[in-house]
Amino acid sequence: MSTFAAVVLFVGVVAYAVLGGADYGAGFWDLTAGGAERGRESRHLVDQSLAPVWEANHVWLIFCLVMLWTGFPGAFAAIMTTLYVPLGLAALGIVVRGSGFAFRKVFVRTEQQRVVGAAFAVSSVMTPFFLGTVAGGIASGRVPTGGHGDPVTSWLNPTSVLGGVLAVLVCAFTAAVFLTAEARRREEPGLERRFRVRAQGTALVTGAVALAGIAVLRADAPRLFDGLLGRALVLVVVSGLCGLGALVLIRRAAPRLVQGLAVTAVGAVVAGWGVAQYPYLLGTHLSIATAAAPAPTLVALTVVAAAALVLVVPSMALLFVLQQRGRLEG
Amino acid sequence: MTPASLVAQGATVLAADPSQLLPAREQMAFTLGFHIILVPFGVAFTFLMLIANYRGIRRGDDVAMLLARRWSQVAGVLFAVGAVSGTVLSFELGLLWPGLMGTYGAAFGIPFAIEGLFFFVEAIFVAIYLYGWKRMAPWPHFWTGVPVVLAGIGGTSSVVAANGWMNQPDGFTVRDGRVVDVDPWGVIFNDAFWYEALHMLLAAYMVAGFVVAGVYAVGLLRGRSDRYHRLGMAIPLTVAAIVTPLQIFVGDVAAREVARNEPAKFAALEMVTETGTHVPLLLGGAMVDGEPRYVIEIPSGASLLVGYSPDTRIAGLSEIPADVRPPDHLVTTVHLAFDVMVGIGFALLGLALWFAVLWWRRRTVPENRWFLRAVAVSGALTVVALEAGWIVTEVGRQPWTVVGYLLTREAVTTTGNVWLFFTATLVLYSAVGAGTFYVLRLLRRRWRDGDAADAGVPYGPSRAREPVGRTEPGE
Domain membership flag for residue A13 = yes
Note whether B111 and B162 are within 8 A (CB).
yes
Note whether A74 and A2 are within 8 A (CB).
no
CA distance, residue A245 to nearest chain B CA (Å): 31
Instruction: Judge: B95–A319 Cβ closer than 8 Å, yes or no.
Output: no
Highest mean pLDDT among A126-130, A146-150, A316-320, B303-307: A126-130
* Torsion angle of the four alpha carbons B33, B38, B43, B44, in this order, in degrees rounded to the nearest 10: 110
- Checking if the pLDDT of A170 tops 60, the result is yes
How far apart (Å, rounded) are the C-alpha atoms in residues B208 and B239? 9
Of A105, A148, A293, Cβ closest to residue B456: A105
Average pLDDT over residues B114-143: 92
Question: What is the pLDDT at residue B5?
Answer: 55
Average pLDDT of every residue of chain A: 90
CA distance, residue B279 to nearest chain A CA (Å): 43
Domain membership flag for residue A313 = no
Domain membership flag for residue A304 = no
The number of folded domains in chain A is: 1
The verdict on B115 touching A (C-beta cutoff 8 Å) is yes
- Which residues of B, range 137-176, sit inside 8 Å of A by Cβ? 147
CA distance, residue A150 to nearest chain B CA (Å): 10
Average pLDDT over residues B280-303: 89
How far apart (Å, rounded) are the C-alpha atoms in residues B17 and A116? 40
Least confident piece of the model among A34-48, B175-189, B211-225:
A34-48
Per-residue confidence band for B434, with pLDDT thresholds at 50, 70 and 90:
very high
Average pLDDT over residues A257-272: 92
How far apart (Å, rounded) are the C-alpha atoms in residues B189 and B193? 6
The number of residues making up chain A comes to 330
Average pLDDT over residues B244-264: 93
Of B83, B109, B459, Cβ closest to residue A66: B109
Domain membership flag for residue A320 = no
- Checking if the pLDDT of A255 tops 60, the result is yes
Domain membership flag for residue A27 = yes
How far apart (Å, rounded) are the C-alpha atoms in residues B143 and B137? 10
Per-residue confidence band for B454, with pLDDT thresholds at 50, 70 and 90:
very low
CA distance, residue A18 to nearest chain B CA (Å): 16
Per-residue confidence band for A299, with pLDDT thresholds at 50, 70 and 90:
very high
- Which residues of A, range 275-304, sit inside 8 Å of B by Cβ? 293-294, 296-297, 299-301, 304
Helices and strands, counts by H and E, chain B: 15, 8
With 0-12 / 13-18 / 19 or more C-beta atoms within 10 angstroms meaning exposed / middle / buried, residue A320 is middle
The verdict on A236 touching B (C-beta cutoff 8 Å) is no
The verdict on B14 touching A (C-beta cutoff 8 Å) is no
Domain membership flag for residue A87 = yes
Instruction: Give contacts of A329 with chain B, Cβ < 8 Å.
Output: 131, 134-135, 462
Question: What is the pLDDT at residue A262?
Answer: 93
> DSSP states of B271-328 as a string?
T--S-BSSPPEEES-EEETTEEES-EEETTHHHHHHHSSTT--B--GGGS-GGGSPPH
What CATH number is given to the structural domain containing A277?
A: 1.20.1630
Note whether A204 and A277 are within 8 A (CB).
no
Instruction: Judge: A58–B87 Cβ closer than 8 Å, yes or no.
Output: yes
How far apart (Å, rounded) are the C-alpha atoms in residues B34 and B437? 13
Domain membership flag for residue A256 = yes
**Structural domain of A92:** 2-297
pLDDT, tens only, A41-75: 888 888 888 888 888 888 999 999 999 999 999 99
Average pLDDT over residues B51-65: 93
Question: What is the pLDDT at residue A330?
Answer: 63
The verdict on A69 touching B (C-beta cutoff 8 Å) is yes
Instruction: Give contacts of A330 with chain B, Cβ < 8 Å.
Output: 131, 456-460, 462
Q: How many CA atoms lie within 13 A of B441 on its CB side?
A: 6
Q: Which residues pair with B407 in a beta bridge?
A: B400
With 0-12 / 13-18 / 19 or more C-beta atoms within 10 angstroms meaning exposed / middle / buried, residue A81 is buried
Note whether A206 and A166 are within 8 A (CB).
yes
How far apart (Å, rounded) are the C-alpha atoms in residues A57 and B84? 12
Of B90, B110, B456, Cβ closest to residue A62: B90
Determine what percent of chain A is predicted with pLDDT higher than 90: 56
Instruction: Judge: A105–B458 Cβ closer than 8 Å, yes or no.
Output: yes
Contacts of A178 (CB under 8 A, 6+ apart): A22, A25, A26, A49, A259, A262
Per-residue confidence band for B245, with pLDDT thresholds at 50, 70 and 90:
very high
Instruction: Give contacts of B107 with chain A, Cβ < 8 Å.
Output: 297
Domain membership flag for residue A308 = no
How far apart (Å, rounded) are the C-alpha atoms in residues A30 and A39? 8
pLDDT, tens only, A22-31: 899 998 998 8
